[in-house]
Amino acid sequence: MRLTCSILLFGIVALGPTTVAAQFPTVRLAVVPSPEGTGLLHELLPDFERESGYRVVVYSGEDLYDVARAGQADLVISHYGHNGTEAFMTQGLGLWPRAVFANQIAMIGPNGDPAQIRGLQDAGEAFRQIALSRSGAQFVSNNSAVMKYIESMLWEAAGRPAKNLWYVDQGASEADGMALAARIKAYYIFALPPFLTWQHTCPNNARSEGGEWPLARPSAVPHYPTPCGMEALVLAGMPARIMVSIVVNPQRFPAVNLVGATALQEYLLRPAVQARIESFRDSRSKLQLWKAVGLHNSAAALGLGKQP
């Protein structure tokens, strides 16, 4: 079986990119929502399409591994810790994952910032100041698995402060927890891409729920208002969640466009593309949402050490 696959791959490569693109005109990319929702893929994919001759068809959703299992994807991109990634790999459905980019996580808080954490370079110190603040500052726990884990890290770094009146845990997570934090003007741990989406929709949500979340005063950065009185206050020292690209295994799914998926993966790892990931900004914010993490791959995957 291994020999058959190798001969098949050699035959595909020997045809050359133009012939292959004619046989497989598209690359089917299944991805979690945030790279598509923030416009990152719209920024990166057109150059790949022009250069390669492929058209990239994007499916965006948390169920991307269901799509891949149905044989409807050539390349998948998700968080390394996505609940479908490990099973997809251990069951032999994908080739070795490559780190491509990471989305920034932030400490979100009210514009008034009662704990005075804005701009701190130490996330553990920011958490400690919230816990020990005498200004009535509160923190709402985000009960999604990853955010809860980060919270536990910061709590340990802060010296394990007693979880008394400042600490609010109602079992909420993600956008629901963000809405709760906004209502009581509390701090919250949230990834930046979904936070921007929440900011964009929260005034309408507040009106539909009969709430009173006023638009806040403009932030210190011109032309970037902070709807519903919440903004990202601390990024330094906060982690970023690595996302990986996985070429779907052609031995398990014969219709996979192996050459096209591999070409797109290699394109994303180029130094020039990684630099664009670092410099990309969503139109709704000047904050850095994405970090380049191509360096976490093997030297061979990055094309290092090869003869010119």
pLDDT tens per residue across span 270-293: 999 999 999 999 888 889 999 999
Asked if residue 48 has pLDDT above 60, the reply is yes
74 lies in the same domain as 9: yes
Residue 301 lies in a domain: no
Asked if residue 203 has pLDDT above 80, the reply is no
Instruction: Tell the residue number behind the tokens 């991307």, with chain if given.
Output: 64
180 lies in the same domain as 58: no
Residue 284 lies in a domain: no
31 lies in the same domain as 126: no
Region of 194 (left: φ > 0; alpha: ψ -120 to 50; beta: rest) is alpha
Into how many domains does the chain fold? 2
The predicted structure's pLDDT at residue 307: 52
Residue 282 lies in a domain: no
45 lies in the same domain as 118: no
Cβ-in-10-Å burial (0-12, 13-18, 19+) of 58 comes to middle
CATH code of 84's domain: 3.40.190.10
- For residue 140, list its beta bridge partners: 168
The predicted structure's pLDDT at residue 284: 82
114 lies in the same domain as 44: no
Residue 243 lies in a domain: no
Asked if residue 261 has pLDDT above 60, the reply is yes
The predicted structure's pLDDT at residue 202: 82
Residue 226 lies in a domain: yes
Mean pLDDT for all residues in the chain: 86
Q: How many CA atoms lie within 13 A of 307 on its CB side?
A: 0
107 lies in the same domain as 219: yes
Residue 281 lies in a domain: no
Q: Indicate the pLDDT class of residue 205, thresholds 50, 70 and 90.
A: low
136 lies in the same domain as 156: yes
Asked if residue 209 has pLDDT above 60, the reply is no
Residue 303 lies in a domain: no
What confidence tens digit (pLDDT) does each residue in 90-140 have? 999 999 999 999 999 999 999 999 999 999 999 999 999 999 999 999 999
87 lies in the same domain as 49: yes
CA distance 48 to 267: 7
Per the structure, the complete domain to which residue 47 belongs is given by 2-95+248-268
147 lies in the same domain as 190: yes
50 lies in the same domain as 130: no
The predicted structure's pLDDT at residue 4: 34
> Which of 89, 97, 79 is CA-nearest to residue 144?
79
CA distance 162 to 23: 63
> Which of 244, 235, 242, 215 is CA-nearest to residue 288?
235
Asked if residue 214 has pLDDT above 50, the reply is no
Residue 292 lies in a domain: no
77 lies in the same domain as 130: no
186 within 8 A of 140, measured Cβ to Cβ: yes
The predicted structure's pLDDT at residue 148: 97
136 within 8 A of 129, measured Cβ to Cβ: no
Distance of CA 5 to the CA centre of its chain: 33
CA distance 73 to 247: 9
Q: Indicate the pLDDT class of residue 303, thresholds 50, 70 and 90.
A: confident
The predicted structure's pLDDT at residue 227: 55
Of 19 and 244, more confident: 244
Instruction: Tell the residue number behind the tokens 């591999």, with chain if given.
Output: 262
Structure tokens at 76: 């998948």
91 lies in the same domain as 169: no
What confidence tens digit (pLDDT) does each residue in 132-178 have? 999 999 999 999 999 999 999 999 999 999 999 999 999 999 999 99
Helices (H), 161-244: 174-184, 192-208
Asked if residue 20 has pLDDT above 50, the reply is no
CA distance 291 to 280: 9
